[in-house]
Amino acid sequence: MWWRLNRSQFNAGKGEGNRQALQDIVASGEIPGIIAYSAERPVGWCSVGPRDAFPALNRSRILARVDDRPVWSIVCFYVARPFRRAGLTGRLIGAAVEWATARGAKTLEAYPVEPKSGKMPDTSAYHGMASVFARAGFTEVARRSETRPVMRIELS
């Protein structure tokens, strides 16, 4: 919900309030992202949708719009601890590309991190790593911060 709300709304709903807000989105029929499963157990999540669904992006100097093109956005991931460092984020990116393409998206944008030292704590990598997006075919289109490129892939 971080990307869907302003800071005061997010802070007021921390915990159960934000969980309920996400459940309300799903109950409305909107699909706020994709889920990865292992043996019928959810083990990963990727939040993806039209950029307009994530108004916090427009309040960010670093993640502001690159141009006027309509884009879809991948804003965050969650991968359960036992499944980290096993390629699941890359598979979630591939699934997000397929999902967005099937829904008519022409351009998919992401806002990963590119750590200065090459490594970072798992808890800080929830935007995804730039190297994983590059392997999936995304290219850098803007950089307003040393560690936060804006990356895109054109969809067919």
pLDDT tens digit sequence for 11-69: 888 989 888 888 888 899 888 999 999 999 999 999 999 999 999 999 999 999 999 99
pLDDT at 123 over 70: no
| Residues with Cβ within 8 Å of residue 16, at least 6 apart in sequence | none
3-state secondary structure of 64: coil
Fold of 31-154: Aminopeptidase (3.40.630)
